[in-house]
Chains A and B, each alone.
Chain A
């Protein structure tokens, strides 16, 4: 590597790294679209065709893009649009309306947004419309104004489509589709929604994707560096341990975005000092991703809180998962204290109450019923949100855990 540094001093490694980070980060943050979307070639083609029809020939269409979260629906659409807009007439012809179910939470807001995006605020002014339909019709009518007889085609993109379906009697959707059916104005409605079943993505392609995502484009300023980089990435993907980690990650979440997150972690460890992704980085990233959050939290509890949790565990074992309240837990705890006389641990009720509160605040335990205000805190029924294995694991990891507490936890019945 030092050789290379000598060779092309005109582009120092730091600069390269910066470039690399820039490019890859943009890619991974879904900012910069890949020049060719992988795996969805067919869909790409089809969608492009449909939209072009609307844009050029002014025929109405409606499309629903379905896929799991982070499968690249938006990406697909964006790339299609990018390609579409390269055509001259489409450019000057097509109007776009981008709606998002998260933002336009009801039809009134949605309509406002539409008006705004079509730049018709001044046209609408302060007219009052009887119904939503009238309003929409007016908008589309307004588009017709001007020299051309037929109105310009409008592309409605509805992200988080399913949320629109939740709107009060779905006026927006109804009207949009109505318009698209009765050809009063050429519009294309593209809905993006997620289906929660898994995308059947093959493991092999998964690994490939890792490579493609990390590989540098040809037009990288310093092709030598790019070459080295790409090779290193290739080598990385062949590494057994890396593959293992990737597969594990693949098994728990198959969508691309989580992969992006994963790669982001790896990438963030690339520095001037270490201008390649090492297997270690991948492993580290894996560790970060697979960390069991609850266990981590248990690790930070005070010994008193831990004891309470153990007491709850025992209660759960005895009364097979019946809800419990602080009094019972405290009783259980007291039993333990009596069994072995360690004066160090007996706390006043208020102290125990505080510990209990803290556990509740961390949502490691959760009240059974909502009527918390009426009952005293020490009698409020609770459920434990942990399973025994988690507790045991935490106990093993716990620093300076007294042995008797460990034994108590192990013991079958409190």
Chain B
């Protein structure tokens, strides 16, 4: 029986698009949390927010790909131009096919978008003739035919137009009995002749129109590694026979490393190519930018708390280097938040928030009062105020504390960046190299109480002058654009400090950098922690003994300022009032959805079916499904299970479940029905991989799992 294909299927295919998720979403929202009359509103908010995020990220990604795409475009242009009026070197290589080896990280799904935009750009700017191939669609030399199709119907086929493939091929095969590159050449000749007389509208926009009387024919191999070596070699060999008639050009999409080209192609083939290498920026940088633009900004009201953030990042770093999945995760969190948290109506822009506050229902206000953060706030107030807050709805609405959170965000991020700029250059990175690590620390606990922070401060106290100036200037840079009163002040103070330092080296003789040197040396050579501690200690000694030089005083001043900023602005969000409104907290949900654990869930389902069957009582009664009974029974057995005993046991349990009285003689008898049910259960277990038949004993099966996996 061919269960293999079925089970394979359920491994391979991921749920396709978010479209269907959005379909019935609105009514789902009502179900989300009891008594949610504002579900529609929340749904709308969620949608708007998501669309905004989506557009931003997409533009961001284009930005990130810009450079490499441009270089590729230049490459193609250069090739096509040199082909026409080439210098000596290019004539020497006239017989070689220009090839761009495009290295973009190991996460293949993320590449689709890159190739998409690449082929679009190529078509707009360089050549109408672009075909992109995937390994799975050319197992044989059929690939050749696909190239022809895509070129002759000069559309780069996107991956999801499978349904129109068939008739396309059929027409193709009708038109020419055997499609060979010869045909392509003739087609190309006619095409170019036409275009040279009257340029089609596509090329009018192109800046290089004049030299593109012969636009190159570009073939993109999306995933080189997956291609069949034989096919690829033959294809290249064939193409090279036509190179002087047809300005061909290849682009290899490489996931691992360029040396795969050598592994795939023997010299006889690779010597037909003229390879140039293009390296896209690594996905970790990619992620860093995405986080920077998406998370570390007060632009979006919706926030993730430390745990969720942690989960998403760890999924990225540990499992898949996929930025797309990261964003998906954010989306999921977003949905969940608006879905489950009724107060999320307030999680939006200031104006809307105000409006929504005004029409908050009694019940929602109660919810607000229930919020722990709100409780904490009220505790702090004086008695009268407390009473008002707890009883008077309008009062509550009027002086709503929600804005504090926004203000908090307004200041949080700039200060975070400042702190990062200061600490990121320190030896051994006490507060992390990446800003996201610092961010996580700040989210988790009050940063200034951690000893990492302390050690960082110590190190900072030993900064040499030039370093200090540089970092402070950078801080000013980050603070400038922010327009909130506090930050303004901070900026002003910093500039003052800068000027002070400047004055120092005007009048006072330059300070001896004897004490500052160690840090430099530390930051140069990586010393172990112990070493570091030691040096710090003796520095403290020195500091105690000798009086501070003017520079040091200024430096301390500066650090005081920073410290003050940190203390006032980098307090963890949990401390903020009403942070539940904007912060999504349940990391468990996210993990469950994004990083599923099939085995454990199967385990759970078998040992405790009601967890899924949605019934109240917990333990497996013997009225459970057959497979669960069989499973439970097999847990008691050893490595080899005697099928007959198993059947017996099953029969008793099952008949007990049917409630036949234990005394009746039919009790625990094996009739056909039970037998059949048992067999089915066993075969299901076998399919799930808990048991398998064994050669050692005919009437036994072997257990495959031990304990709870």
Contacts and interface: CB of A to CB of B under 8 A. Distances in A.
Interface of A: 350, 353-354, 357-358, 361, 373, 377
Contacts of B262: 350, 353-354
B503 interface: no
A377 B229 CA distance: 12
A358 B268 contact: yes
B277 to A, nearest CB: 16
B266 A361 contact: yes
Interface of B: 229, 259, 262-263, 266-268
A358 B259 contact: no
15 contacts: A350-B259, A350-B262, A353-B262, A354-B262, A354-B266, A354-B267, A357-B266, A357-B267, A358-B266, A358-B267, A358-B268, A361-B266, A361-B268, A373-B229, A377-B263
A357 B262 CA distance: 11
A353 B266 CA distance: 9
B227 to A, nearest CB: 13
Nearest to A353: B262
Contacts of A358: 266-268
A302 B228 CA distance: 29
Contacts of B229: 373
B398 to A, nearest CB: 74
Contacts of A377: 263
Nearest to B268: A361
Nearest to B228: A373
Contacts of B259: 350
Q: Is the interface of B mostly helix, strand, loop or mixed?
A: helix
Contacts of B268: 358, 361
Nearest to A360: B266
A30 B192 CA distance: 50
Q: Which 6 A-B pairs have the closest CB atoms?
A: A357-B266, A354-B267, A350-B262, A358-B267, A361-B268, A361-B266
A228 B548 CA distance: 123
A358 B265 CA distance: 11
Contacts of B267: 354, 357-358
Nearest to B263: A377
Q: Is the interface of A mostly helix, strand, loop or mixed?
A: helix
Contacts of A350: 259, 262
A302 to B, nearest CB: 11
Contacts of A361: 266, 268
A354 B264 CA distance: 11
A358 B259 CA distance: 18
A357 B229 CA distance: 14
Nearest to A356: B266
A357 B267 CA distance: 8
A19 B266 CA distance: 50
A354 B267 CA distance: 6
Nearest to A377: B263
Best-surrounded residue of A350, A353, A354 (most CB of chain B within 10 A): A354
Best-surrounded residue of B229, B262, B266, B268 (most CB of chain A within 10 A): B266
Contacts of B266: 354, 357-358, 361
A348 to B, nearest CB: 10
Contacts of A373: 229
A353 B259 CA distance: 12
Nearest to A350: B262
A354 B263 CA distance: 9
B233 to A, nearest CB: 11
Contacts of A354: 262, 266-267
Given A350-B262, A373-B229, 13 more contacts: A350-B259, A353-B262, A354-B262, A354-B266, A354-B267, A357-B266, A357-B267, A358-B266, A358-B267, A358-B268, A361-B266, A361-B268, A377-B263
A352 to B, nearest CB: 12
A357 B270 CA distance: 12
A353 to B, nearest CB: 8
A12 B266 CA distance: 56
A244 B268 CA distance: 43
A350 B268 CA distance: 14
B259 to A, nearest CB: 7
Nearest to A354: B267
A339 B266 CA distance: 30
B159 to A, nearest CB: 26
Contacts of A353: 262
A377 B265 CA distance: 11
Best-surrounded residue of B229, B267, B268 (most CB of chain A within 10 A): B267
A354 to B, nearest CB: 5
B272 to A, nearest CB: 14
Nearest to A376: B263
Contacts of B263: 377
A148 to B, nearest CB: 45
A362 to B, nearest CB: 10
A90 to B, nearest CB: 44
A304 B229 CA distance: 25
A361 B262 CA distance: 15
Nearest to B229: A373
Contacts of A357: 266-267
A354 B262 CA distance: 8
A350 B259 CA distance: 9
A374 to B, nearest CB: 12
A239 to B, nearest CB: 46
A357 B233 CA distance: 14
B268 to A, nearest CB: 6
B97 to A, nearest CB: 19
A136 B229 CA distance: 49
B262 to A, nearest CB: 5
B630 to A, nearest CB: 38
A300 to B, nearest CB: 14
B691 to A, nearest CB: 30
B525 to A, nearest CB: 33
A361 B266 CA distance: 9
A361 B267 CA distance: 10
A373 B263 CA distance: 12
A234 B268 CA distance: 51
A353 B268 CA distance: 13
B264 to A, nearest CB: 10
A377 B266 CA distance: 11
A245 B229 CA distance: 48
A361 B269 CA distance: 12
Nearest to B267: A354
A359 to B, nearest CB: 11
A171 B128 CA distance: 57
A373 B230 CA distance: 10
A250 B654 CA distance: 90
Nearest to B271: A354
B307 to A, nearest CB: 43
Nearest to A378: B263
A128 B225 CA distance: 52
A303 to B, nearest CB: 16
A373 B266 CA distance: 14
A377 B263 CA distance: 8
A195 to B, nearest CB: 39
A361 B265 CA distance: 12
A381 B259 CA distance: 23
A334 B267 CA distance: 22
A354 B266 CA distance: 6
A361 B271 CA distance: 15
A353 B267 CA distance: 10
A350 B262 CA distance: 8
A353 B229 CA distance: 16
Nearest to B266: A357
A350 B266 CA distance: 11
A151 B266 CA distance: 64
A86 to B, nearest CB: 45
A178 B337 CA distance: 88
B265 to A, nearest CB: 9
